[in-house]
Chain A
């Protein structure tokens, strides 16, 4: 079982799930926890983008699972949209990209979303590893404020903050780390030091034309020194449990 836990698809540019499933098939990926793409780049109704992503995933027979998003500047409406995504659209969590979305994460609206996510056991997958709003340590501050909420460091600190990400995960048991974007040295250290149950794998594929990134990141993961059971947990069991993929 291979689940890609950090992957995007531009539903505005291509609304055909068959095209996406074909890409997943090509790389032997069984399931994908899908974030949108355009929603992080352009203004407009976030509800419309969440609707489109959910509609895109729906006919996939459970292989595609959506992550919704929200804009903090929307205030209470952001919290309502987050709740609607979980209750009505079948979202299994949220993707939030503070850098692209251009918002400071320390505000009451984010706190409300964190509370909501905790109530629904819905993880929040953050872009991390980029100042000034997306440091791994900033996500750790949220994790400390909301111990019932599950936080995923979507890049485990990327290149420059991977040690910070490990320390964040060491201090906060509600932090998970995606092996997605770090160099393999950092990935190996994460696997060696963190409980296997708190690791995920992702390609960060962003849509048509970027398929080589799936091959590359799968290749990096394949070369890590891991016991088979740990490899299976990272690729399959952990995301299945975290995102409740079998419900």
Chain B
């Protein structure tokens, strides 16, 4: 199964982000399934709207979308909001520290993750990284050290300015996986040689990136014997054995 771990959808008023357009692009590249993340405004503020958007799309297109859901951890009702979104079908919990105004490893996310880990053991958590002061891989390093039972996905692999931090962080944190969007296939594949192929997760960054081009470049550069894992197998295993 080929899975794209990073696509962003919005409502139909924003045609470039429409679920229908994403499915068309996936079909053109032979991609079976995509994780759909909410748009930036829904990470920052309109969390519930974003979660309804992604879980709704997953229900409307069964088997094609995995709903990423989020909540701004500063909210007083953060856990309840997130729990509701998971109950509605959210499969991947996703946070964007740069947009949500917190430092991974510190402050409001810790309490939320403690409750989440108890109610949803084993569920992976996707952290957008690369923002300079709120989303450095080293901050995820601290977070992953605090929660060794949670498996984290390092969204965007620290792209761009923290690319050099990825290998030393991942070597010390077996509970961190790395996702490729915006990290550019040549650089990402090179780092996987050090991090481990079983830790790599393909994401295109659609619609900011061209899904077809990102997939063709990744297919071209990945060693054949590791492609299946990176192009979907690793994420499927993380999510509980998607078939």
Give 7 new A-B contacts, CB below 8 A, not counting A212-B186, A212-B221. A183-B182, A184-B208, A210-B186, A213-B184, A216-B184, A216-B185, A223-B213
Q: Which residues from chain B contact A184 at a C-beta distance below 8 Å?
A: 208-210
Between-chain CB contacts (< 8 Å), 27 pairs: A129-B160, A129-B161, A130-B132, A131-B132, A131-B133, A159-B130, A159-B156, A159-B159, A159-B160, A160-B130, A183-B182, A183-B208, A184-B210, A185-B209, A210-B186, A212-B186, A212-B221, A213-B184, A213-B186, A213-B187, A216-B184, A216-B185, A216-B217, A219-B213, A219-B217, A223-B210, A223-B213
Given the known inter-chain contacts A131-B133, A213-B186, A216-B184, please indicate yes or no for A181 contacting B208, CB distance below 8 A.
no
CA distance A213 to B159 in the complex (A): 15
Could you tell me if B182 and A185 are in contact, using CB atoms closer than 8 angstroms? no
| In the A-B complex, the 8 residue pairs with the closest CB atoms | A212-B186, A185-B208, A183-B208, A131-B132, A130-B161, A183-B209, A158-B160, A223-B210
| Interface residue total, chain B, C-beta cutoff 8 A | 22
Q: Does chain A have a CB within 8 A of B98?
A: yes
Q: Which residues from chain B contact A67 at a C-beta distance below 8 Å?
A: none
Q: Which residues from chain B contact A223 at a C-beta distance below 8 Å?
A: 210, 213
CA distance A64 to B98 in the complex (A): 40
Q: Which residues from chain A contact B156 at a C-beta distance below 8 Å?
A: 159
Q: Does chain B have a CB within 8 A of A220?
A: yes
Nearest chain B residue, comparing its CB with the CB of A223: B210
Chain A 123-156 interface 0/1 with B at a Cβ cutoff of 8 Å (1 = within): 0000001110000000000000000000000000
Nearest chain B residue, comparing its CB with the CB of A155: B160
| Chain B, interface SS category | loop
Given the known inter-chain contacts A131-B133, A160-B130, A213-B186, please indicate yes or no for A220 contacting B160, CB distance below 8 A.
no
B164 CB, nearest partner CB in chain A, Å: 12
CA distance A160 to B132 in the complex (A): 9
CA distance A159 to B221 in the complex (A): 23
B33 CB, nearest partner CB in chain A, Å: 22
Q: Which residues from chain B contact A219 at a C-beta distance below 8 Å?
A: 213, 217
Highest count of chain A CB atoms <10 Å: which of B160, B213, B221? B160
| Interface residue total, chain A, C-beta cutoff 8 A | 19
Q: Does chain A have a CB within 8 A of B131?
A: yes
Given the known inter-chain contacts A130-B132, A160-B131, A212-B186, please indicate yes or no for A186 contacting B208, CB distance below 8 A.
yes
Could you tell me if B221 and A185 are in contact, using CB atoms closer than 8 angstroms? no
Q: Which residues from chain A contact B133 at a C-beta distance below 8 Å?
A: 131
B145-174, CB < 8 A from A: 156, 159-161
Measuring CB to CB, which residues of chain A are less than 8 angstroms from any residue of chain B?
99, 129-131, 158-160, 181, 183-186, 210, 212-213, 216, 219-220, 223
Could you tell me if A158 and B161 are in contact, using CB atoms closer than 8 angstroms? yes
Q: Which residues from chain A contact B130 at a C-beta distance below 8 Å?
A: 159-160
A142 CB, nearest partner CB in chain B, Å: 20
B163 CB, nearest partner CB in chain A, Å: 11
Q: Which residues from chain B contact A212 at a C-beta distance below 8 Å?
A: 185-186, 221
Q: Does chain A have a CB within 8 A of B108?
A: no
Highest count of chain A CB atoms <10 Å: which of B156, B213, B221? B213
Could you tell me if A181 and B160 are in contact, using CB atoms closer than 8 angstroms? yes
Q: Which residues from chain B contact A99 at a C-beta distance below 8 Å?
A: 161
Q: Which residues from chain A contact B208 at a C-beta distance below 8 Å?
A: 183-186
CA distance A130 to B161 in the complex (A): 7
A35 CB, nearest partner CB in chain B, Å: 17
CA distance A130 to B132 in the complex (A): 8
A206 CB, nearest partner CB in chain B, Å: 11
Q: Which residues from chain A contact B73 at a C-beta distance below 8 Å?
A: none
CA distance A220 to B159 in the complex (A): 17
Q: Does chain A have a CB within 8 A of B205?
A: yes
Q: Does chain A have a CB within 8 A of B207?
A: yes
B236 CB, nearest partner CB in chain A, Å: 26
CA distance A139 to B193 in the complex (A): 37
Q: Which residues from chain A contact B159 at a C-beta distance below 8 Å?
A: 159
